[in-house]
Structure 1
Amino acid sequence: MTKFADIKGFVFDLDGVITDTSILHGNAWHQLADSLDIAWSTELGNALKGISRMDSLEMILKAGGKENDFSTAEKEKLATQKNTNYIAEVDKMTPANILPGMKDFLDSLRANGYQLSLASASKNAPRVLGKLELADYFPKVVDPASLTHGKPDPEIYTKGAALLDLKPEQCIGVEDAAAGVAAINAAGETSVGIGNDTELAAADMVFNDTSAVTLANIKAKLDN
């Protein structure tokens, strides 16, 4: 079992850990639905979480009875429009969008000499970090275009450790989703889950929310 003293780096997921962009994706889809005269509902918004862009579009069109109204090329255009909407939402972000306690946690990691990297599948992650004014905390960001497999495959976390020139066992991965925790574990890193104990039962430790994630709490759980 890894001891706290062995840890030299932290590899972070972005969404649900440092900030919550799912709200922004929801807003962007809502705007697209409005432009197509398709009624939006909370249920529809929830159904899109964790679903790919094209599959999300199909669900929205189906909800409005318009699944047969567009050619493949037109659907591509609609998906691009959603992304344009999303970027506009991202550009409204400020440091106020950092989840509770995370800025303090990042400050404490930096003050204690830990290395940090970002393991997000989002192409827009560097832009989000910039808006949150956290870009200089993460000089190392895994390029999603370089990945051949998505989570729960360990590739993104293996690369996150390699960017820091650290062995996996010297790193802690921080995630809010079961697939992400599985990826951290498969990479041979210590997994910190943020969220529901049951959903994230495979994690080495779980905190109910971001404000509970501190170096002291992680040390207590690892060395217990």
Structure 2
Amino acid sequence: MKKGIIFDLDGVIVDTAKYHYLAWKKMAAQFGYDFTEEENEAFKGVSRIRCMELLLEMAQVEASQEQINEWLFQKNQDYLAYIEQMDQEEILPGVLTALSFFKSRQIPTALGSASKNARPILEKVGLLSYFDAVVDGNDVSAAKPDPEVFLVAARQLGVTPEQCVVFEDSTAGIEAAQRAKMGTVGIGHTDSLGKADVVFAQFTDMDETFLNGLLTA
């Protein structure tokens, strides 16, 4: 029986992925590089530092660590400016129904995200109260696909990793959850999330029977 639920944030609960893309695209333009949405797929669920490394490789740019740190700060400031106006309309379809389902059944629920802005985002969209634990980039040292963020979340929920199910939209996140010995539900396209236990295009494709089944599996 599953006793803990863990959600990723970007692209699963809220559509902040588009704002990350816009911020990285703006950064890439400074390098004279046209960063595409297809390339952005590799950035999903990955730490900001690793994303910067990938972008510099793509754009064939070399820089000092000091300059890289400045760019990382700039990217985050651009991202924060984009999300400043976020509200409940940013919550993806069906997410609130799923969160309410788990809350009504008193199932321990956590957020496990690479984002360092997870808590303020949850506050902005009014979802913080649905989570018993929030583990983000401020709490862990290793980025997905390392399982650290999910293992810490399970520990904070007081359940074993094997008792958890993770909702994820990235290949790195699915790999991290599986390395933690957790069940996985992919949110997105089967072609990129095929290694998940099951994949749905969005939460509205799930019904109560499926959610109940997660808890009794």
TM-score of the pair, normalised by structure 1: 0.79
Structure ID, larger Rg: 1
**CA-CA distance at 1:84 after TM superposition:** 0.7
2:123 paired with 1:130 = yes
**Long gaps (5+) in structure 2:** 44-49
Aligned partner (choices 80, 92, 102) of residue 85 of structure 2: 92
Q: How is 1:99-114 mapped onto 2 (pairs within 5 angstroms)?
A: 99-114=92-107
Supply the distance in 1 between the matched residues of 2:27 and 2:194 (Cα, whole angstroms): 36
Q: Deviations over 1:46-88 (max 9, x none)?
A: 42443434336536865xxxx47x7653443233222111111
Query: Tell me, what secondary structure is at the counterpart of 1:191?
Result: strand
Whether the 8 Å CA contact 2:2–2:216 is kept in 1: the answer is: no
- Name the counterpart of 2:56: 58
Q: Percent identity?
A: 34
Q: How is 1:150-161 mapped onto 2 (pairs within 5 angstroms)?
A: 150-161=143-154
Supply the distance in 2 between the matched residues of 1:206 and 1:33 (Cα, whole angstroms): 32
TM-score of the pair, normalised by structure 2: 0.82
2:203 paired with 1:210 = yes
- Name the counterpart of 1:167: 160
Aligned partner (choices 108, 128, 139) of residue 115 of structure 1: 108
Supply the distance in 2 between the matched residues of 1:16 and 1:195 (Cα, whole angstroms): 9
Closer, same or farther in 2 for the Cα pair 1:214/1:8, shift >3 Å? farther
- Name the counterpart of 1:3: none
2:59 paired with 1:77 = no
Whether the 8 Å CA contact 2:98–2:203 is kept in 1: the answer is: no
Closer, same or farther in 2 for the Cα pair 1:186/1:136, shift >3 Å? same
Q: How is 1:161-200 mapped onto 2 (pairs within 5 angstroms)?
A: 161-200=154-193
Whether the 8 Å CA contact 1:109–1:215 is kept in 2: the answer is: no
Supply the distance in 1 between the matched residues of 2:207 and 2:93 (Cα, whole angstroms): 12
**CA-CA distance at 1:23 after TM superposition:** 0.9
Supply the distance in 2 between the matched residues of 1:168 and 1:148 (Cα, whole angstroms): 19
- Name the counterpart of 1:47: 39
Supply the distance in 2 between the matched residues of 1:79 and 1:164 (Cα, whole angstroms): 31
**Structure 1 runs of 4+ with >6 Å offset:** 221-224
Supply the distance in 1 between the matched residues of 2:28 and 2:192 (Cα, whole angstroms): 31
Supply the distance in 2 between the matched residues of 1:191 and 1:47 (Cα, whole angstroms): 24
- Name the counterpart of 1:21: 16
- State the one-letter code of the partner of 2:36: L
